[in-house]
Amino acid sequence: MRRRIRAIGEPVVPLTDKYPLAVTFIIGPVRHEDGTTSLEPIGTGFVVNVPTRDEGVYFEYVVTASHVVQGDDERYVRIRKRQGGHKDVRVHEWVHHPHADVAAAPFKGDGEMHLLNVPSASMRWPGLPVGMEWQPELGDRVYFLGLLALTGAREMAENNVPMVRSGTIGAMYQDDVPVEWPDKSIRKFQAHLIDCRSYGGFSGRRVFFSGIADSRAYVRESGGGAE
Amino acid sequence: MTFLLGLISGHFDHFSSARIRGDMADSGSIEVPINTGVGIVTPVEKIVDVLEMEEFADERKRVEGERKERPEEGATLDSVEPESEFEFEVENAPST
């Protein structure tokens, strides 16, 4: 039984201008029909903050979809700089989930980067008792920020300009959802399905939903991780 | 407050036949993908799984262990040390 009180009409978008700062783009080689190769945005990622037991000491990891960083090609993470512009940081050591389309790699921000990260606290809701206010349900609105890799918007992607989109939860925890892998094989994973528009290049975007009243910040400054 | 549902993996396309016009009108039809508007989201639990894999967890444990073994540091007290009744040499002793 739903106990949540819902507003009638469009919900207030629970985003601030900080959210786009938690978006990173994954850069990799793109092979063109004329045989040339160039480094271009190929997906979206975000940086997760994992605290240790020592206060103020934490680890950072860049997270994206596994299929975005398959293979041995070099990958970079594009980060905005405080002084303007951006820089591409090479990322090694991707660790892939054996049964899901997600990969992560160690990352360390620095003071030059204008980057916010996602606290691991925002990922703990599945461990909460079912029925609590912050459990997502079918029909709930979800939001996602990602790379706008459309023809005519290439310059926006190159400048790390993310775009907010939204949809609703259509189905949750569906087993054996078929996904075409980069090598054209079909792999099946557990996944949620959302009613939205998603295009190539948006892979790796984080999808979030709005819980009710909590003072924890969703994003926080990156940098100054574990020594 | 917002929570993470997961990350986007892709979307489903529906293939639909398209009519060819002009000089190639007699070439038959082609199939083109049309975005159905159904997106695929990898659940957040899978992200947590990766972050808990030993490749990352071991490093966090190592750093936590090292920090735990560090001796606690405090301010130096401004007191007069009593003179030792013994004289000895200390190699590489820092100058004061």
Q: For residue A107, is it within any domain?
A: yes
- In this prediction, residue A170 carries a pLDDT of 93
Whether the predicted interface score ipTM is above 0.95: no
Nearest-angstrom CA–CA distance, B85 and B96: 20
| Chain B contacts to A (CB-CB under 8 A) | 1-11, 35, 37-51, 53, 55-56, 59-60, 63-64, 67
Does residue B46 register a pLDDT over 80?
yes
**Count of domains in chain A?**
1
Tokens at B35, concatenated: 């975005």
Which regions of chain A are under pLDDT 70? 1-15, 129-134, 146-162, 197-227
Q: Which residue has the tokens 């892979």?
A: A203
Q: For residue A119, is it within any domain?
A: yes
The beta-carbon neighbor of A57 closest among B11, B38, B67 is B67
CB pair distance less than 8 Å for A211 and B42? no
Nearest-angstrom CA–CA distance, A206 and A127: 19
- Domain CATH for A116: 2.40.10.10
Q: For residue A1, is it within any domain?
A: no
Nearest-angstrom CA–CA distance, A191 and A97: 14
B26 compared with A14, residue with greater pLDDT: B26
Tokens at A150, concatenated: 């459309």
> For the residues B29-42, what does the mean pLDDT come to?
85
CA distance B79 to chain A (A): 32
Search chain B and give the residue with CA nearest A67. B9
Nearest-angstrom CA–CA distance, A46 and A147: 11
Is the Cβ of A213 closer than 8 Å to some Cβ of chain B? yes
What is the number of alpha carbons within 13 Å of residue B45 lying toward its C-beta?
11
Q: For residue A77, is it within any domain?
A: yes
Q: Tell me which chain A residues have a C-beta less than 8 angstroms from the C-beta of B48.
A: 120, 123, 126
The beta-carbon neighbor of B40 closest among A193, A210, A212 is A193
Q: Tell me which chain A residues have a C-beta less than 8 angstroms from the C-beta of B53.
A: 95, 97
- In this prediction, residue A90 carries a pLDDT of 92
- In this prediction, residue B47 carries a pLDDT of 93
B82 compared with A190, residue with greater pLDDT: A190
- In this prediction, residue B22 carries a pLDDT of 78
- In this prediction, residue A54 carries a pLDDT of 78
Tell me which residue range forms the domain holding A140: 19-221
- Contact in structure between A82 and B31 (CB atoms under 8 Å): no
Q: For residue A8, is it within any domain?
A: no
A106 compared with B32, residue with greater pLDDT: A106
> For the residues B77-93, what does the mean pLDDT come to?
51
